[in-house]
Each structure stands twice: as C-alpha cells, then as structure tokens.
Amino acid sequence: MPTVLHAKALLLDMDGTLVNSDAVVERCWRRWAVRQGLEPAEVLRVVHGRQGHATMAALLPDRPMAVNFAENATMLAEETADTDGVVPVDGAPAFLAALARHPHALVTSASEELARTRMAATALPLPPVLVTAERVSASKPDPEGFLKGAAELGFAPEDCVVFEDAEVGIAAAKAAGMRVVGVGPRAAAHAPTVHVASLAAIRVEAAPEGGLVVTAG
C-alpha cells in the first residue's frame, strides 16, 4: 500500500539521494584511511552524510580540529576533481522534473563547488535554494541545514518533507521536526517516516487545495 504525505516544500539531500557518488567517495576515503592507518571499511561506515571534518573528528577524536579542517579542504578538492562513476540515482531526473515549479531546496554536506560539480556531471537541475557546507555552522546530524532550507523557502518545519539516504541525515531531519523519506539501502535501518528503494518509487503532484502530494511506493 503506497504511503501518501502532504507537504508544502521538499528538502533534498544530494549524495546517495539524488546522485550516486559512492565510487568517488570510496576511492578518496580509502586513500585517506590508509594514510591514517585506519581500516577503510570502518571509515566508510562513518563517512556518508557528514562533512569531511566531522568524519575525521569522529574517527580521530584526539586530533586537533585545525588539522581536520585542513585535510577536509584537500579532500573536497580531490572529490570535486573526480567525477568518474558519478551518476544519477534511479528516478532522480523524473523526480526533479516534477519539482520544477514547486518549492524545494538542496541541503547537502558537500561544498557548493562540489554540489554544483556533481549535479552538472549527472545533468540534474540545481534546486532554486542551496544549503551547502559553507552555509551552516554544524554538520548533520545537527538539524541546522534543514531548518535553514525550510526558512529560506518560507515554510515551517512541519510543512516540509526531507529526502535522505544516510543515518546522520535522517537524524537531522527528525531533529528538525520534519518527516523524512528514506531513499536506498542505507536508509532502511534508520526508521525514516517511509522508505523507498529509489526515487523511481516516488510520485509528486500538486494538491488541488495547494501544496504537494508525495506518494511513496
């Protein structure tokens, strides 16, 4: 039985939700793990959805944050330069096309340059509002990014539905008081409001009384 959600605006994560960038993320973070003497598989369990410096702080808690910020800048440059294997998530082009005339924002832990690069590499249109790493003071699971996206679109948190794939992103959406559609295999274990295998299972339509009707499944 499909789940129907009513909303006035949608807030969209990027990596893992709209864009499959796993190949790049794994290449870059495996190299970083080896340099730090860490097990790559353990690093990859932590990295998804967070800003890079937050991942580093979680894995190397005794290291000065100044070092993490410096290495994060290097990591962002590596990831931005590498688009090999970056592809749209199944259903993403049609999903974003359906949102073209409706309020929606991108809320991502990526930098603006990285977000623009990956969206361009997949030929996906950029939402009208971008909340990127530079625009928040705290990484997901902090709700700041989603709250900022809702405010810039002019809607209350309870009127927004978030689309996310990662544990920290789902936690951030819940902390913001928003409903969340979990997209893909990573999301299933983290109790989103509703879970779908991909965006191909989502239909978005204008509601007769205003707002949006999101049908999942």
Whole-model pTM: value is: 0.90
pLDDT (0 to 100) of residue 191: 96
> pLDDT band at 172, cuts 50/70/90?
very high
Query: Quick check: 47 pLDDT over 90?
Result: no
DSSP assignment string, 33-72:
HHHHT--HHHHHHHHTTS-HHHHHHHH-TTS-HHHHHHHH
Three-state SS for 73?
Answer: helix
Rounded to 10 deg, the angle between the 40-47 and 52-59 helix axes is 130
For residue range 101-146, list pLDDT tens digits in order.
999 999 999 999 999 999 999 999 999 999 999 999 999 999 999 9
pLDDT (0 to 100) of residue 209: 86
Write out the catalytic residue numbers: 13, 15
Cα–Cα distance, 74 to 45 (Å, whole number):
21
